[in-house]
Amino acid sequence: MLTAGGRWCLAAQAEFGRIDILVNNAGIEVTAHFEDQDDEELDRIIRVNLIAAMQLTRLVLPGMLERKRGHIVNIASLAGKVPVPYSSPYSASKAGLIAFTEGIRMEFRKRGVSASAICPGFVAEAGMYADWERQTGAKATFLAGTVKPERVARDVVKAIRKDRPEMLQFWVPARPTAALAELMPGTFEKIYPVFGVQKTFGKLADARREEQRSAEREAAASR
């Protein structure tokens, strides 16, 4: 079954004759206690964040390989490299997207097609974080920080022009932070609460749980 993104992809190919660059930017994030999430929600997160990117890549790949030229840009997240409690399915989908990027890069780079993963932290003014901020009033802590969308856009262009495998955006040096999480997970677990992400996301998950329970009580009372 062809997704909406797939239809747009085919329409773009029909209109312009070819697609040289694909940016997989669609994504959804749900902050919740994992035990509160049902199968439908888990499926939706993985399908939008990971499977859709694979399907769109598969659609454009034959033409790129035929021309021996093309670049796939997957907008992942630091959540795919650094743990994000109360958003585990999102983190898992982004970790999968990073691995997918690395795999297709190694598989097709010698045939003229490459790929890059873009891994931002909280992006101010636009996208999921901006929506979250408007809807809940919650803000990233000082240590967690935010980056501007313009920086993410510049890094996308840089990744394509310089064929970078991965670009990380964080207001403090992101690479050492991600490396510490990977190389010394026990130590990072002790440091991580300082960033305040776990506390903030925990409050949002609690608020969502209360909303769900309130809706259930109202539904039961109306029967």
Report the CATH number at residue 89: 3.40.50.720
pTM: 0.85
Active site residue 86: no
Looking at the chain, which runs of residues are DSSP E strands?
21-24, 70-75, 113-120, 166-169
- Structure confidence at residue 37 (pLDDT): 96
Q: Which residue range(s) make up the domain with 156?
A: 4-173+181-221
Q: Measuring CA to CA, which residue among 85, 159, 151 is closest to residue 124?
A: 151
Structural domain count of the chain: 1
User: Looking at this protein, which amino acid is placed at residue 68?
Assistant: K
- Structure confidence at residue 69 (pLDDT): 95
Decide: helix, strand or coil at residue 162: helix
Which residue out of 86, 90, 129, 192 is catalytically annotated? 90
What's the rounded Cα separation, in Å, for the pair 195 and 75?
A: 23
- Structure confidence at residue 52 (pLDDT): 95
The alpha helices in 138-184, defined as continuous H runs, are 149-162, 174-183
- Structure confidence at residue 11 (pLDDT): 80
What residue ranges of the chain have pLDDT lower than 50? none
CA distances for 204 relative to 69, 132, 134, angstroms: 44, 10, 13
